[in-house]
Structure 1
């Protein structure tokens, strides 16, 4: 049965309405929805009568179009699908339609090979395979790339119609980087597909450049009453000419890219070029050199990185350095992976020696972020730059960066159910320099002074109240020093006396141990940590090099203080 476009659009609109179970639908509601859809499609008012919608409902219920839609009436005036999961889009194609599709495929195949119809080739293959599968009830002969979990496909048809009739939309959107969704008027010009992901190109207003928005980040689309802003600036046919993917910058110039591809990967790059501008400029026994004339964007980097060790950037220098840095960061994520053997050994070292050093706990990227946050805080808050107390109270956004997955795992293995009690930042340089004599770290910081048995030597410095607690609390505490720079004996690395952590020592005992022990220099790389028990004897020399020694000193315990005493900086992990 031949069905005109308006009827198909009404069926589709009714289907969309009845799939919405959050609203009740009367006959008048369906008439209004169909009228709006036809107006959007044709750009003019179309009179949809009550009789027309009644016949549409009757047609959808019948098997004439193969729908057999389970449309029921309840409460004498509301329409819905009896099966809530039903949709006419899930209905099988009728034999009559299959025959028509077969004729269409045969007709379209006549044009394959003609340059004017080259864009139809893949579409014809998909259609032919689908018709064959439906007619023979056999498995498909062609498997096209698809991802059923991709979001945003449901907006395609609606966006297409808005572009077609040149109408703005009110778009609710939440990018991956945004904390909250935002709603704005958007003027759509073009739908773009890349790697099975869809994008809508348009602008918010006439004063801004084109925006490229992913359909899978769209939350909601509504009609806007604003006047449509026509595109008079950009030639959309050539807009993507000089890029790979969808990220285009009108201010970035096209660059001449040179890439060396190993012989193992060369055939794949030759048969499936990165870009239409790709050319082979050189060959040798080990691979080929290709050139591209494109913008440097995220998608270009992604394509290069996808070949791993099979490709090398020769030029330009900036792209080469970017790819090199990203590869190093990738290796860094593997190198910072902890294993059970490391944690077991670390626990034994801390128990018996009183300390341990573990490198590659943080990636270079994580350390860079931590240093960046500290730098901005110290820059905006004049004062001492060589030390900062109560770091997490002043900079709470630093906590998730410092207490990362690796550190949590390490703390859990050493001190289950631990919480943070103290964070201090130190920056030892030639200008801000000091040495620390041999000592044990005994005091803890508390909110208020409350005289309590076993708590002695109360002090107050820079509004920080400190007290020496009973020894049991010190023994149940661990310190972790996060190193933001490479640290060695030249720039003031900590020195320890292994095994000296088991008891509190008098000055005489400290001198005796120092005179008869060989100190250990705890050299730690950037991104590494130094774990120690507070009672271990330790000291540090002045910085004798021009290199900074930045450290975050953290203390953890799993014992609360008695008699109403509270740690000044207690933070749950």
Structure 2
């Protein structure tokens, strides 16, 4: 029996006891749960379960300093959503069943997969995507928690370890890892941000380097080397040299960073100045803005992500564990560079 299943079964058993008219002491609850799960349950486990139910809104009270029950007899945990950790385990189990159902021996499992797959609220999902797009346009950044599920997160982590990726290593040519990161949810978000966007690079970061407030002006592009006497479309190379339109380039470019570890303000999360992405600023302007503006800390759980514009003023403060912040950075753009310049890559979604 999976650990998550045992915990959930104990919660359901306690819930049923608290809703019944029978008077339950702590000792009776221990014996009853042990019988249901067919194993010895400790007093500490039951007390911890009761406290967990209380912390999540269950009105558990003790009558006569002895008998446990619900203050509201109509309350039930079955009317509420299960904890996110248990839901992730449930989805991971379904994904596993989906994989083995391709084998002839387990083919009959396919018939039940559709009915047990958790249904997503599409309206809420669309509203949140719209919110992220608006935040990126207006504030220059957005954060999203738990953007990938437990099964996808485990697969990405295993692939990173398998390929032994090093700090700042591009993995854009590794299709298995790349398309594990570029799941359907992320592709839909990218298309909403910019329907013409293409991927220009994908890099693994083993840790987050600390730096003071600045605008990120470097992009994964390079200058094309053209021999002096070579002509391009009938024109001498030196006569056709054009530089990128930088304001338009930055406007049509954005960055997505997916985190494989939890990051917060104590562990060196990215700090940004909202709305500072509208134009390129001088060092003096950056200093003036940061001295008079309180930054936003982009705290993200593992599996979550940050989206931001290149010119957004940002900072990463030093932390005690800088190597405990593995992440994946993706650059997207729809800007067509002049002939003398190249993106590192151009992959269309």
Residues in 1 aligned to 2:328 and 2:155: alpha-carbon distance in whole angstroms: 14
Residues in 1 aligned to 2:182 and 2:15: alpha-carbon distance in whole angstroms: 42
Secondary structure of 2:327's match?
strand
Tell me, which stretches of 5 or more residues in structure 1 are unaligned?
Answer: 1-258, 266-282, 293-308, 311-322, 380-384, 456-468
Match of 1:327 among 90, 96, 108: 90
Asked whether the equivalents of residues 479 and 553 of structure 1 are also in contact (C-alpha less than 8 Å), the reply is yes
Q: CA offset at residue 521 of structure 1? A: 0.9
Q: CA offset at residue 491 of structure 1? A: 2.0
Residues in 2 aligned to 1:479 and 1:376: alpha-carbon distance in whole angstroms: 25
User: For 1:78-93, what aligned pairs fall within 5 Å after superposition?
Assistant: none
Secondary structure of 1:444's match?
coil
Asked whether the equivalents of residues 169 and 205 of structure 2 are also in contact (C-alpha less than 8 Å), the reply is no
Match of 1:353 among 126, 139, 144: 139
Partner of 2:3: none
1:560 aligned onto 2:320: no
- 1:174-228 CA-to-partner distances (Å, cap 9, x unmatched) read xxxxxxxxxxxxxxxxxxxxxxxxxxxxxxxxxxxxxxxxxxxxxxxxxxxxxxx
Match of 1:530 among 288, 306, 318: 306
1:441 aligned onto 2:230: no
1:506 aligned onto 2:295: no
Residues in 2 aligned to 1:480 and 1:391: alpha-carbon distance in whole angstroms: 15
Residues in 2 aligned to 1:483 and 1:286: alpha-carbon distance in whole angstroms: 39
Residues in 1 aligned to 2:211 and 2:31: alpha-carbon distance in whole angstroms: 61
Partner of 1:483: 259
Partner of 1:289: 36
Secondary structure of 2:266's match?
helix
Question: Alpha carbons of 1:561 and 1:373: their partners in 2 closer, same or farther (altered >3 Å)?
Answer: same
- 1:93-140 CA-to-partner distances (Å, cap 9, x unmatched) read xxxxxxxxxxxxxxxxxxxxxxxxxxxxxxxxxxxxxxxxxxxxxxxx
Asked whether the equivalents of residues 335 and 360 of structure 1 are also in contact (C-alpha less than 8 Å), the reply is no
- 1:234-270 CA-to-partner distances (Å, cap 9, x unmatched) read xxxxxxxxxxxxxxxxxxxxxxxxx9896999xxxxx
User: What's the TM-score once normalised by structure 1's chain length?
Assistant: 0.39
Secondary structure of 2:164's match?
helix
Partner of 1:363: 149
- 1:68-88 CA-to-partner distances (Å, cap 9, x unmatched) read xxxxxxxxxxxxxxxxxxxxx
Question: Alpha carbons of 1:413 and 1:392: their partners in 2 closer, same or farther (altered >3 Å)?
Answer: same
User: For 1:112-131, what aligned pairs fall within 5 Å after superposition?
Assistant: none
Q: CA offset at residue 285 of structure 1? A: 7.7
Partner of 1:424: 203
Question: Alpha carbons of 1:412 and 1:486: their partners in 2 closer, same or farther (altered >3 Å)?
Answer: same
Match of 1:388 among 168, 186, 211: 168
Tell me, which stretches of 5 or more residues in structure 2 are unaligned?
Answer: 1-8, 17-29, 40-76, 79-85, 95-116, 226-237
User: For 1:153-552, what aligned pairs fall within 5 Å after superposition?
Assistant: 289=36, 326-327=89-90, 329=92, 339-378=125-164, 385=166, 387-393=167-173, 395-428=174-207, 434-446=209-221, 448-450=223-225, 452-455=241-244, 470-545=246-321, 548-552=324-328
Q: CA offset at residue 378 of structure 1? A: 1.8
Secondary structure of 1:549's match?
coil
Question: Alpha carbons of 1:417 and 1:486: their partners in 2 closer, same or farther (altered >3 Å)?
Answer: same
Question: Alpha carbons of 1:335 and 1:481: their partners in 2 closer, same or farther (altered >3 Å)?
Answer: farther
Moved more, 444-453 or 526-535: 444-453
Q: CA offset at residue 335 of structure 1? A: 8.0
**Structure with more relative contact order (C-alpha pairs < 8 Å, separation 6 or more):** 2
Q: CA offset at residue 288 of structure 1? A: 6.5
Secondary structure of 1:289's match?
helix
Asked whether the equivalents of residues 142 and 308 of structure 2 are also in contact (C-alpha less than 8 Å), the reply is yes
Question: Alpha carbons of 1:535 and 1:326: their partners in 2 closer, same or farther (altered >3 Å)?
Answer: same
Q: CA offset at residue 361 of structure 1? A: 1.1
Q: CA offset at residue 554 of structure 1? A: 0.9
Q: CA offset at residue 290 of structure 1? A: 7.3
